[in-house]
């Protein structure tokens, strides 16, 4: 179990804090708004009302003991930079920050952020990629050059092994998982679909109808796959 601190409890920060807590991690949630803190206290390990730009206040609540700190302040540029700097000076090794744009991202990285996310932009990219072609179910950018994508295998892949499909040689993509949907029936006759993910597929594994391939590769190679299988 890891310890997290989430600073800034807007929609993004609250979602992060609640999700981490649901995954059974210890979460300290921090915000200057007392009403928001009171509401969040029902979901996290500890909810604290304080101004995170005050380094002494952060240290007093023991934030330097957490494994990861998330600065979810996106709308106040000055505050997000000060908080990130405070977290860095308090010795927190992993600092994840929310940014408004690329310029904000660069500033946060300069003062100590180990990872910066742009939620609105990233979600826009994921939605756009899912709309481009029905072959792509999910698309997650790892960098400007590479991504992980969930793709629907073309018809000529069905009932063939990964070795026979030869995705790496034909498309330059590595298959890192296969998502399979299995239908079962409950005692009352209702249909239930169970999703199983094979995270270490072997060359002899067979690609079945309704499977989804999880592939890793350059964005160019993923785009080429899309174009060939529209």
For residue 40, count CB atoms less than 10 angstroms from its CB and return exposed for 0-12, middle for 13-18, buried for 19 or more. buried
Number of structural domains in the chain: 2
CB 155 within 8 A of CB 169: no
Instruction: Identify the domain boundary among 117, 149, 171.
Output: 117
What's 70's domain CATH number?
3.40.50.720
pLDDT value at residue 58? 94
For the segment 169-187, the average pLDDT, to the nearest whole number, is 81
Q: Are residues 144 and 190 in the same domain?
A: yes
- The span from the CA of 144 to the CA of 150, in Å, is 18
Between 189 and 9, residue with greater pLDDT: 9
pLDDT at 132 over 90: no
pLDDT value at residue 191? 61
Q: What is the pLDDT of residues 53-97, one digit of tens each?
A: 999 999 999 999 999 999 999 788 999 999 999 999 999 999 999
Sheet with strand 136-141: strands edge to edge: 136-141, 146-151, 212-218, 174-185, 191-198
pLDDT value at residue 34? 95
Q: Domain residues for 17?
A: 3-117
CB 4 within 8 A of CB 44: no
- Across the chain, mean pLDDT equals 85
H helical segments located in 61-210: 77-89, 102-111, 119-132, 162-165, 167-171
Cβ-based neighbours of 17, under 8 Å, separated by 6 or more: 4, 6, 9, 27, 29, 40, 43, 44
Q: Are residues 71 and 103 in the same domain?
A: yes
pLDDT value at residue 114? 93
pLDDT value at residue 186? 60
Residue 81 — φ and ψ, nearest 5°? -70, -45
For residue 188, count CB atoms less than 10 angstroms from its CB and return exposed for 0-12, middle for 13-18, buried for 19 or more. exposed
- The span from the CA of 230 to the CA of 228, in Å, is 6
pLDDT at 193 over 70: no
pLDDT value at residue 195? 72
For the segment 97-110, the average pLDDT, to the nearest whole number, is 91
Q: Are residues 218 and 131 in the same domain?
A: yes
Instruction: Identify the domain boundary among 117, 143, 169.
Output: 117
Residue 115 — φ and ψ, nearest 5°? -150, 135
pLDDT value at residue 230? 61
- The span from the CA of 213 to the CA of 176, in Å, is 8
Q: Reduce the DSSP state of residue 205 to 3 states and report it.
A: coil
Q: What is the pLDDT of residues 134-164, one digit of tens each?
A: 455 566 667 667 888 888 888 889 999 999 9
Instruction: Identify the domain boundary among 117, 150, 168.
Output: 117
Between 126 and 173, residue with greater pLDDT: 173
**pTM listed for this prediction:** 0.61
For the segment 159-184, the average pLDDT, to the nearest whole number, is 87
């Amino acid at each position: 179990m890891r310890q997290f601190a989430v600073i800034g409890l807007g929609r993004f920060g609250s979602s992060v804090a609640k999700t981490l807590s649901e995954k059974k991690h210890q979460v300290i949630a921090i915000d200057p708004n007392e009403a928001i803190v009171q509401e969040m206290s029902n979901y996290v390990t500890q909810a604290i009302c304080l101004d995170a730009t005050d380094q002494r206040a952060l240290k007093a609540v023991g934030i330097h003991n957490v494994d990861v700190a998330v600065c979810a302040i996106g709308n106040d540029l000055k505050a997000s930079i000060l908080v990130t700097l405070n977290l860095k000076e308090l010795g927190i090794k992993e600092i994840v920050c929310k940014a408004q744009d690329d310029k904000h991202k660069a500033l946060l990285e300069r003062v100590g952020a180990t990872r910066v996310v742009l939620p609105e932009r990233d979600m826009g990219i994921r939605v756009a990629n899912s709309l481009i072609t029905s072959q792509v179910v999910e698309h997650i950018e790892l960098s400007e050059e590479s991504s992980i994508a969930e793709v629907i295998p073309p018809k000529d892949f069905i009932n063939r092994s990964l070795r026979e499909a030869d995705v790496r040689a034909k498309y330059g993509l590595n298959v890192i998982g296969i998502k399979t949907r299995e239908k079962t029936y409950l005692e009352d006759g209702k249909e239930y679909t169970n999703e199983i993910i094979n995270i270490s597929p072997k060359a002899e594994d067979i690609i079945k109808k309704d499977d989804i391939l999880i592939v890793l590769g350059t964005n160019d190679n993923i785009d080429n796959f899309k174009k060939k299988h529209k």
